[in-house]
Chain A
């Protein structure tokens, strides 16, 4: 992805909103979204460190989003096993965020692979 600042902005704003929406629901998700937001936010500063600085923050924050969704899905799966169907209230925010995270993570991975291929091509020339 070319415009990393926009992606970082989307992640940090979206996770902040979801954090607020989760305050009355689940403390763990508040912490998770706060962490994702901070991770994305740190991506803005310190670009002079390494070339992959922004990519790294995008990838880790989206990975955290994916793990948070995995957490939620595992919860649903285990309630299904114990057939407490009436108790299933999927946290829609976590799942929406998780799906967005997967898309962002895959896009970013492909972008990095493309860079690698280009560098390889340049090297062989």
Chain B
């Protein structure tokens, strides 16, 4: 009875749909990919769209939905990649993004990607989507890994019981992708009315509840208005049963009336039990197990999570990454430097106009070139960080350090954001979206600028190479360790002043280990490195030209000591004189606010030397102790414009970026003084 009613409704509402599909086959048909974290959604997305989206072996990488397009036969599809979720409630930011998207129904089909080795946990999402009356194609992914473990998936029970198409795929080997495309094509072009909708058969008590709930709700006009998205296909009562009233906020009088009719706690228990039984029936009838419980993951984890060895291996991994970065990139940087120097020499002979000559040779080539020679370092750093992330090691690292992070009010998960922050603060701040705890998140966002980003690396490399070349790796390690400590202490400190409090459990998954593919690492490296290149192209070029202009005018480069730039630096000189920094050091720092890469290039402009002889110029100005103080000041002081803008967009307020501006400067100044004092004793 219920079924017939539903189908007729479908028929009416789908008339327009059918029309647009028949006439407009070349239009974009929107479909989306959803699934638990780490099941290979993004890999499938990349295969289907050919997009270069980086795939992480870490739960919760897709925070915002990403869009790509692909063509199959005569149809064009718009594919939306949703964040990885276990359920569709509104608990965390990523769940909310996914839920809002699903509810608004601007799509034709949802592809639910399930993990062949964890079919059970995908079933909850599958049932929830069916309850929302979504058109689903179930793609059971990683069947190659399942086969390796002796597990055979038989999809027919799922197909028959739930009436949905099921495809077995492997994003790694490409198995089943053609079939998936064919199913998407056929399913999206089939007339809506001919699709058989699934009705889930609930136990009689639940059915009764749903009916009474809907009848009751029809007396409340405000429910009809506010929850119109939920009312379709009776989803509201089911959602209410599963997740309670916390993010629904139904009217109190309505709830009271409902409570007089039903024992909600009992009903809830009955619903959960029904769901569990249904799922275990579905899964147990679809899996044939042949293997034994042996996995490389357990064997490696046995040592990687060991109380002594685990921590030592963690240090080994970090040491190796930073040491490789420093050693491998050096010869490449030397080559690039040579190229820029000879280009500068050539152009200085060719361009006759003095100011243009100065602009091009000192401003553009000296400035931008001075930053570009650090590209090898930055790309190599990302490559190896990508290796750690992609292999599945990082969640283990989070597990190892969670207890330490917690004493600073953070979770082990925040460590990933901090490590990303070593690449660039911008993606790191964006990645905090996956942190469900609001207090932790805000404190981390405001502390992440202390994570030493790759743009600061050129400054360190310059200063370390000049003053501490014999202990280069050690000093670099010290900087990065201090950076971690700073982020942690700062977030602990800031959390005292943030009043929002919420207690959300820290639950993460340890994924299987994977050997990262070179292609995936290359995409990862390129995406991260691109950030740097884009900045080098835009902000840095503008900033270096401004700096050049400030040092060239008003006296056309005759005397840099009376230029505008010197004026800015001199204003701050009284504050920094005791640290051994003269006005030129200060001026470079001021311009570094635009982008940290600019610090190095502005020094070569300010000292009026090429890249090669900048070291000698610095040695004449700074003592090792004041150079060390400078390194730590650069580590902590004001983040670049891009980071400030990200803080603004993530916190939705100008208050926080302005706070960051002052907060970081004060902290950096204090640290520089301490380092100078201690450095003076030891160096």
Contact = CB atoms under 8 A, between A and B. Distances in A.
B298 A52 contact: yes
A28 B322 CA distance: 11
A78 B331 contact: yes
Given A39-B309, A81-B332, A120-B291, A32 B299 contact: no
B327 interface: yes
Contact of A79 (B292, B313, B320, B331): B331
Contacts of A79: 331
Contact of B328 (A53, A64, A78, A120): A78
Contacts of A119: 292, 294
B294 A116 contact: yes
A53 to B, nearest CB: 7
Contacts of A52: 298-299, 302
Interface in A71-125: 71, 74-75, 78-79, 81-82, 84, 112, 115-116, 119-120, 123
A60 interface: yes
Contact of B324 (A31, A60, A74): A74
A75 B328 CA distance: 6
**B308, B324, B474: residue with the most chain A Cβ atoms closer than 10 Å:** B324
Contacts of A115: 294
Contacts of A31: 316, 319
B313 A28 contact: no
A38 B150 contact: no
Interface string B294-332: 100011101110101100110010011001100111011
B473 interface: yes
Contacts, number: 82
Interface in A1-54: 27-28, 31-32, 35, 38-39, 42, 49-50, 52-53
A120 B151 CA distance: 13
Interface residues of A, number: 34
A45 to B, nearest CB: 12
B300 A82 contact: no
Looking at chain B's contact residues, the main secondary structure is helix
Contacts of B306: 42
Nearest to A113: B294
B19 interface: no
B350 interface: no
B294 to A, nearest CB: 5
B335 interface: yes
Contact of B303 (A39, A74, A82, A84): A39
Interface in B318-364: 319-320, 323-324, 327-329, 331-332, 334-335
Nearest to B306: A42
A50 B293 CA distance: 13
A60 B329 CA distance: 28
A73 B159 CA distance: 51
B299 A64 contact: no
Contacts of A116: 291-292, 294
Nearest to A43: B303
A14 to B, nearest CB: 18
B332 A35 contact: no
Given A120-B150, A120-B291, A64 B308 contact: no
Interface string B526-562: 0000000000000000000000000000000000000
B74 interface: no
A84 B304 contact: no
B265 interface: no
Nearest to B304: A60
B316 A64 contact: yes
B290 interface: yes
Interface of B: 150, 290-292, 294, 298-300, 302-304, 306, 308-309, 312-313, 316, 319-320, 323-324, 327-329, 331-332, 334-335, 473-474
20 contacts: A32-B316, A35-B309, A42-B308, A42-B309, A52-B302, A56-B300, A57-B303, A59-B299, A59-B300, A60-B309, A60-B313, A63-B300, A71-B320, A71-B324, A75-B327, A81-B332, A82-B335, A112-B299, A116-B294, A123-B292
